[in-house]
Amino acid sequence: MSLTLPQYTPEDAGQPPSLALDYRSTVLRAPQHAPIAIPETLTEVTGPAGCWDRLMGSAMADLTTQHKAPPQGQRIVVSGRVLDEQGRPVPNTVMEVWQANAAGRYIHSKDNWDAPLDPNFTGAGRVVTDEQGRYSYVTIRPGAYPWGNHTNAWRPAHIHLSLLGPAFSTRLVTQLYFPDDPLIEIDPIANAVPMPYRQRMVCRFDIHSTVPNWALGYLFDVVLRGDKATPMEDGHDH
């Protein structure tokens, strides 16, 4: 099978290309022509910044208290800051969170692999950064799961993140991975982002934000632009 590579480069070396041959579904959806720039109108440059709670409801910063009982799995606290290319905090930014449960299963109907659902875990949450760009949410560490990309393919444990900026066109979708996960090195989605940029998608264990006898702490800063930008998610496996 021969393929014609796109005739353009990603935004910078740290961003995944639209076509990553080892990630099979990109073969079908990668553009084969250069993108066409469309002038932004008022719709693209304005948005509902500052009124997220009114539009989306109160933030759901604890994914472990949304049901009658606690979910199964290792409870964790993920915190950090959202920064711009100058290292300045980005306040009032919505971070949407979604993930698999501790067994590596999502609640949606297309996920039907042989792993248990958790009636006490939906796997969806939302936080809004404060004036210093800080955020924090509580969840459980997700499990790995198989996917149909190739024989014996397993996705490393990860959390999906979507950050919504002040306008409808300002959105970053990425994934958070966990340190020392051996599956990262052989995962086509993670490896679509070259090193050393891939490390920007890996959180750090933090004993200081670990809550004694309750939850492990992890730090993950998101940089929106510039030469230290957090890479985008290369497609959506779930």
pLDDT in tens, the chain (238 residues): 334 333 334 456 788 888 888 888 888 888 888 888 888 888 877 777 667 777 777 779 999 999 999 999 999 999 999 999 899 999 989 999 999 999 999 998 889 999 999 999 999 999 999 999 999 999 999 999 999 999 999 999 999 999 987 776 788 999 999 999 999 999 999 999 989 999 999 999 999 999 999 999 999 999 998 778 898 876 556 5
The answer to whether residues 85 and 223 touch, using CB atoms and an 8 Å cutoff, is yes
Residue 54, phi then psi, degrees to nearest 5:
-70, -35
Residue 182 CB neighbours (<10 A): 10
pLDDT of residue 238: 55
DSSP string, 171-193: EEEEEEE-TT-GGGGG-HHHHTS
pLDDT of residue 236: 54
The answer to whether residues 71 and 101 touch, using CB atoms and an 8 Å cutoff, is yes
pLDDT of residue 166: 75
pLDDT of residue 134: 97
pTM given for the model: 0.89
Q: What is the pLDDT of residues 195-232, one digit of tens each?
A: 999 999 999 999 999 999 999 999 999 999 877 889 88
- Rounded to whole angstroms, the Cα distance separating 155 from 177 reads 10
pLDDT of residue 7: 38
Active site (catalytic) residues: 106, 145, 155, 158, 160
pLDDT of residue 43: 80
CATH class of 48-223: mainly beta
Listed by start position, the domains of the chain span 48-223
